[in-house]
Structure 1
Amino acid sequence: MPRSGTLIAYGRRIERVVAHLAAHLDEPLDLDRLAGVACFSPYHFHRIYRAMTGETAADTLRRQRLMRAAAELVRDGAAMPAIARRAGYGSVAAFTRAFGQAYGIAPAAYRRQGRLVPPRTASNEPEASMDDVIIRELSPVRVAALAHRGPYTAIGSTFDRLAAWAGPRGLMGPDARYFGVYYDDPDSVPADRLRSDACVTVGPEVTGDGDVRIIEIAGGTHAVLRHQGPYAELEGAYRRLYRGWLPTSGREPADRPCFEEYLNDCKTLPPAEWLTDICLPLA
């Protein structure tokens, strides 16, 4: 098989592993089982996974669990020991250390604040002001899209699957752009029925393959709100956009879904530095 064909075949096998990890976040890491999912020898699977993804399978599982924990701390009323156990830690102290290393703040303090940066007032979340939102004319973007079903805060695992598909095809270069398209209101639709797409930009020569389809994110006039911080806090940014800015803007939303563009790398930067543009299409 040509080298490019081998890379693509390896990517498909690693994608199966990433999907398996996402579906079994609450189970212990079984590297032999993962090697079987990928149909690689256990003697070589770990090196292949790290070479293809840039991290170990344990790193992927730890990162996805901590991202879920951050969402639970912001949104849910679960007790800290339960969140620690779901994240794979035997004690709250161990979870606190791991969360603090990743997020730069203790989980209890993160829960009290509801975000990495405390609100400007003690009792009210700041609204998005006219100065926070920029009206921009955006060009249409051609992307490869992989559907995600379920909580929006769990779409990271679908991006990992998309990366396993795109990497061997040479689509993860420095000029690649990453988007999430969100079709439903998470306050109105049950979490298990939420629809979204994880997307990466592609050229005209790229075609869909299997679960990956080619779509166009429409251009036009958009209200853009830049969010800095963990993805678990994006819902608060949406509330500020819709509650604080849109009603006073004199603008009407278009009949197209919102999307997000992820401007830097969540694998190499601390969550406090993650940048996301929330793009609301306007009529």
Structure 2
Amino acid sequence: MKHDQNSVVPNDNGYIRRFSRVIEYIYANLDEDPDLATLADVAALSPWHWHRVWQATYGESVFATVKRLRLHRAAADLTYSDLPIGEVTSRAGYGSKEAFGRSFKQVYGSSPAAYRATGVKGRLQPAHGGAPLPKKQGNTTMHSVEISSYPAETIAVMPHRGAYMQIGQAFEKLIGVLVNRNLICQTGAMKAFYFTDPTRVPEDDLRSAAGTVVPEDFPIEAPLERFDFDGGEFAVLHYKGPYADMKWAYEWLYGEWLTQSGREPADAPCMEIYLNNPRDTAPADLLTDICLPLKPAS
């Protein structure tokens, strides 16, 4: 990726920088209820009109954005922590377990208690048909994984530093830039690239990027960066389900499939390809291709 940190953002009508500040503020203050006046100050825009511009850009209100992000965090809390459901309820911004339970079930298809009891392995489903992923350690069947070759592509990316679970922040900024520059119709598949190993690098230092496939002559200007994807052969796990559950899919892909496949990983970042949109798709129906780069077969 190439980027001059001191460069001026060209063709910026002001909304790109302003909405980036709002996105950063929302992620940093997710426990706070959104206040339109405060966010107007963050954006340095008229409190009378700024939210109409935001909703036209992102296709949802700030309140819907915050609700979606909080429920995403709640799903992760239920999956990977022992927090009592009452505390998860409060972190999600609800005053009662009943209200939280109704909202959570509407989005995730089950009550918070049932979601926690089922566990990741019980929820994991194949994305494109076939048998479910194995639920027991030591199962050698390679379910829902295929070897695919991808061509070299030009990717316009928004860099992200920090927890991989927070890469949605970079996607929000990316979409805002593309919409404000009237470039969204020239883009292709949405992809993410993960450049560092979360098992050995502190979370705050993890490097990743949210991106979209673009034509070679696409105007990639700050704050976007150019990433030249080299293509190659990948082991592709077709994953269906909430983004919060993907950690176990990675563990299975690395710990069981790769070690028994006879293949070796290449010196290149993992890639995720998003096949539908979390704004209009239930978490259980989200489709993601998790792509592990491979060295050529011997």
TM-score by length of 2: 0.86
Aligned residues: 279
Percentage identity across aligned positions? 41
- Equivalent residue letter for 1:28: D
Alignment equivalent of 1:275, drawn from 287, 293, 297: 287
**In the alignment, which residue of structure 2 is the partner of 1:181?**
193
Whether the 8 Å contact between 1:176 and 1:201 is mirrored in structure 2 is yes
Asked if 1:42 corresponds to 2:47, the answer is yes
Asked if 1:11 corresponds to 2:11, the answer is no
- CA 1:73–1:127 in 2, change beyond 3 Å: closer, same or farther? farther
Q: Secondary structure at the match of 1:43?
A: coil
Asked if 1:114 corresponds to 2:119, the answer is yes
Asked if 1:165 corresponds to 2:170, the answer is no
Separation in structure 2 between the aligned mates of residue 99 and residue 126 of structure 1, nearest angstrom: 33
CA positional deviation for 1:152: 1.3
Whether the 8 Å contact between 2:193 and 2:269 is mirrored in structure 1 is yes
Q: Secondary structure at the match of 1:255?
A: coil
Asked if 1:54 corresponds to 2:66, the answer is no
Unaligned 5+ segments in structure 2 are: 1-9, 125-131
Q: Secondary structure at the match of 2:116?
A: helix
Alignment equivalent of 1:219, drawn from 219, 225, 231: 231
Q: Secondary structure at the match of 1:110?
A: helix
Asked if 1:193 corresponds to 2:205, the answer is yes
Alignment equivalent of 1:29, drawn from 13, 26, 34: 34
Q: Secondary structure at the match of 1:89?
A: coil
Separation in structure 2 between the aligned mates of residue 122 and residue 245 of structure 1, nearest angstrom: 10
- Equivalent residue letter for 1:191: E
Whether the 8 Å contact between 1:183 and 1:194 is mirrored in structure 2 is yes
Alignment equivalent of 1:103, drawn from 104, 108, 111: 108
Q: Secondary structure at the match of 2:49?
A: helix
- Equivalent residue letter for 1:65: R
RMSD, aligned α-carbons: 2.4
- Equivalent residue letter for 1:51: A
**In the alignment, which residue of structure 1 is the partner of 2:251?**
239
TM-score by length of 1: 0.90
**In the alignment, which residue of structure 1 is the partner of 2:127?**
none
- CA 1:55–1:121 in 2, change beyond 3 Å: closer, same or farther? closer
- Equivalent residue letter for 2:176: A
**In the alignment, which residue of structure 2 is the partner of 1:206?**
218
Q: Which moved more, 1:195-204 or 1:179-188?
A: 179-188
- CA 1:57–1:252 in 2, change beyond 3 Å: closer, same or farther? same
- CA 1:113–1:78 in 2, change beyond 3 Å: closer, same or farther? same
- CA 1:79–1:174 in 2, change beyond 3 Å: closer, same or farther? farther
Q: Secondary structure at the match of 1:200?
A: strand
Separation in structure 2 between the aligned mates of residue 47 and residue 158 of structure 1, nearest angstrom: 22
Q: Secondary structure at the match of 1:143?
A: strand
Unaligned 5+ segments in structure 1 are: none
CA positional deviation for 1:264: 0.7
CA positional deviation for 1:126: 8.9
Q: After superposition, give the CA deviation of every residue in 1:55-103 in whole Å (9 maximum; x if it has no partner).
A: 0011111111111111121111112122111111122222111111111
- Equivalent residue letter for 2:119: G
- CA 1:122–1:204 in 2, change beyond 3 Å: closer, same or farther? closer
Whether the 8 Å contact between 2:122 and 2:135 is mirrored in structure 1 is no
CA positional deviation for 1:5: 4.8
Counting only pairs closer than 5 Å after superposition, residues 62-141 of structure 1 correspond to structure 2 as 62-115=67-120, 117-118=122-123, 124=136, 129-141=141-153
Q: Secondary structure at the match of 2:268?
A: coil
